[in-house]
Structures are given as C-alpha cells and as structure tokens.
C-alpha cells in the first residue's frame, strides 16, 4: 500500500474476441465507482506507442509482455489498479510478468477469459479470424499460433457463459480479497 492506496495489476489473458477489453472497461468503471483508481493498459494502444518497434514473432511477443508488465508495476506501485487486457499467449511470459510484480511486493491477479475459440471466431470483433481463414494474416494466437491457457489463474471467466456483470463481480471479489479491503 502506497500513499494510502492499494495498487494491483489485473492481467486478463485470452484469445482475440474473448471479451478481455469489454471486461477491462467494465472493471475500470466498477473500480472508479468504488473510489479506486484504475487505468487500462490496452495492448493495441501500447503497440502504437511504447511497443511500436515490436512485431508478432515469439521473441517480440515476449518482449511486449515484459514491457507491459514493467509499466503495470509503475501504476500498481503508485496505488492504481492496472488492468491489462492482453492475449499474452505464453505461460512463461505471464509467469515472468507475475514475478516482476511479486519481486516488488505488488499484487498480480491473473484472469483467464476462457471464451471458447468458436465463440471468439463468431464474434470476430477485429476481423482477425476471417483474415486468418483467408490467409491474409498468420500467427493468430490460438488459431494458427500457440496460445497456452493458464493452469492456475486466480479467476476464470467466460467458460460458463458468465454475464459481463458476473465476470466483473468475480474479479472484484478476488481483487478486494487480495487487496485486504
């Protein structure tokens, strides 16, 4: 706890179209409604700025996660809840992000947005699955590139048709328990 504020990072991992960003936005609203400061570190926005020199190779994806983890630590250390909706396809990278937080005595809550791939493809919010099927793009996590689901996420949503409100409530409960509030 710094400056009377209890910061943390809520790391939402899942396939494209799983609902990570939707959950992140609603979680941020709910946190602000309870007078807790939150900031969403959206992967797409970070790739246009701090990570604009990275592509989508495995090594670039790993570096992307490392940078996002370091930035989220800064927010958490300042007492905010950093909400990170990012595919982060590799278990090792997510564990590295967790370790960066643990080493700094900062809370890290991994949330697996476990929406099945057929539902993600049905939603296809960014048109990526259609592009991958047509061959216009390759390397889509969980489609033609690796996605390693978490084995021990603190929270799992999306697998049992939870509503947005139910998903946020599950995360809030874990966040508040972890924050000691």
Active site residues: 88
Q: Is the separation of the CB atoms in 37 and 47 below 8 Å?
A: no
Q: Which residue is it, tokens 């609902």?
A: 19
Q: Which two structure tokens, joined as six digits, stand for 86?
A: 């990012």
Per the CB < 8 A criterion, the answer to whether 69 and 96 are in contact is yes
Sheet holding 107-113, edge to edge: 38-40, 81-85, 8-13, 107-113, 155-157
**Residue among 60, 117, 120 at smallest CA distance from 90:** 60
The shares of helix, strand and coil residues in the chain, as percent rounded to the nearest 5, are: 45, 15, 40
Q: How far apart are CA 151 and CA 20, in angstroms?
A: 18
């Amino acid at each position: 706890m710094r400056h009377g504020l209890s910061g943390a990072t809520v790391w939402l991992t899942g396939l494209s179209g799983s609902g990570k960003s939707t959950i992140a936005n609603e979680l941020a609203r709910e946190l602000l409604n309870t007078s807790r400061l939150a900031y969403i570190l959206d992967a797409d926005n970070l790739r246009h700025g701090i990570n604009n020199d990275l592509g989508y190779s495995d090594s670039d994806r790993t570096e992307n996660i490392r940078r996002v983890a370091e930035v989220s630590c800064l927010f958490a250390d300042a007492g905010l809840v950093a909400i990170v909706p990012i595919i982060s396809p590799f278990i090792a990278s997510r564990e590295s992000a967790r370790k960066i937080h643990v080493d700094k005595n900062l809370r890290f809550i991994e949330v697996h947005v476990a929406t099945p791939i057929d539902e993600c493809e049905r939603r296809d919010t960014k048109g990526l699955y259609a592009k991958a099927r047509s061959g216009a793009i390759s390397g889509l996590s969980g489609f033609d590139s690796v996605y390693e689901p978490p084995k021990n996420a603190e929270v799992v949503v999306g697998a049992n048709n939870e509503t947005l409100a139910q998903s946020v409530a599950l995360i809030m409960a874990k966040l508040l328990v972890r924050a000691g509030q």
